[in-house]
Homo-oligomer: A and B are copies of this chain.
Amino acid sequence: MRRFLLLAHRVPVSGEFTLNDLAGGAGRMDEIARAVSTAFTLSNYLRRDTTVTVLFAAEPPPAARRIDLEGARLRYLNPDERSTAALLKNALVRSRSLDRPLEASPGLAVAPADPAELLAEFARRPGARWLLESGPPLRDDAALGPEIAAIVSDPYDPTEAERAILEAAGVPPRSVGPRALRTSQVIDLVHAELDRREGAGPSPAA
Contact B195 A177 (CB under 8 A): yes
Q: Given the complex, which residues of B lie within 8 Å of A43, measured CB to CB? A: 133, 155, 179-182
| Number of identical monomers bound together in the oligomeric complex | 2
A188-B189, A189-B189, A192-B189 known; A179 vs B42 contact (CB < 8 Å): yes
Contact B184 A38 (CB under 8 A): yes
Q: Given the complex, which residues of B lie within 8 Å of A171, measured CB to CB? A: none
Distance (whole angstroms) from the CB of A57 to the closest CB of chain B: 19
- CA distance in complex: A127, B79 (Å): 30
Contact B22 A82 (CB under 8 A): yes
- CA distance in complex: A177, B19 (Å): 33
Let me know if A70 is at the binding interface, CB within 8 A: no
- CB-nearest residue of chain B relative to A197? B178
Let me know if A41 is at the binding interface, CB within 8 A: yes
Q: Given the complex, which residues of B lie within 8 Å of A184, measured CB to CB? A: 38
**A144-187: which have CB < 8 Å to B?**
155, 176-182, 184-185
Contact B176 A192 (CB under 8 A): yes
Q: Given the complex, which residues of B lie within 8 Å of A195, measured CB to CB? A: 177-179
Let me know if A198 is at the binding interface, CB within 8 A: yes
- CA distance in complex: A20, B85 (Å): 12
Contact B188 A185 (CB under 8 A): yes
Let me know if A81 is at the binding interface, CB within 8 A: yes
Let me know if A31 is at the binding interface, CB within 8 A: yes
Contact B185 A80 (CB under 8 A): no
Let me know if A203 is at the binding interface, CB within 8 A: yes
Let me know if A65 is at the binding interface, CB within 8 A: no
- Selected from B23, B42, B198, the residue in CB contact (under 8 A) with A78 is B23
Q: Given the complex, which residues of B lie within 8 Å of A100, measured CB to CB? A: none
0/1 string, A75-106, CB within 8 A of B gives 1: 00011111100000000000000000000000
